[in-house]
Structure 1
């Protein structure tokens, strides 16, 4: 069962997806994206995938579809915190190069230390 909750966020709109995003959940996701785009003006849409327990190819393609619809409206979308198996599938399909994905909250990446930098010979 797929649950989708939409709430305002400081950057625009947050869409939290929970459950299995597979072939059976695609129509619900598409309907919610259409509803959100009709109700809200252009802005940033953050799609929180941390509650997605399973993602199949149909679900992954629905994320590409959602990205395209949001961009057509002049907005931008970020997919945040996908679970490791979902992120792995997106990477295997090459969708990580087409989608804006943030794997964690706004935590800066650690800077490499002197020991971690390659030495010039």
Structure 2
């Protein structure tokens, strides 16, 4: 099992095109840990803003009476991909990983696969 710091380092080293990553508490909108993003993206602002995205999607699913869970949320920009992956472990309830990728350098399918692996190994 990986702790927060080693999981964030794993994201940045194993995912091609990674710009920055954050572990976020979507109850408070606070980043519990960040890595990368320097000069490109303010990960604390992204953490707070994407908390609203996760909350809105969860509310919508509830209103639609969808008995399902969010695997990940993808936001596609012209120059970046942003991937939001809620943690599924009992200790990770209420948390999500946020990953910003350089669209020119990233392989989205591989990034999602790696993020899923890292999320499964993360012990919070």
The normalised TM-score by structure 2 is: 0.30
- Structure number with higher helix proportion: 2
Larger radius of gyration: 1
Relative contact order: is structure 1 or structure 2 higher (C-alpha 8 Å, sep ≥ 6)?
Answer: 2
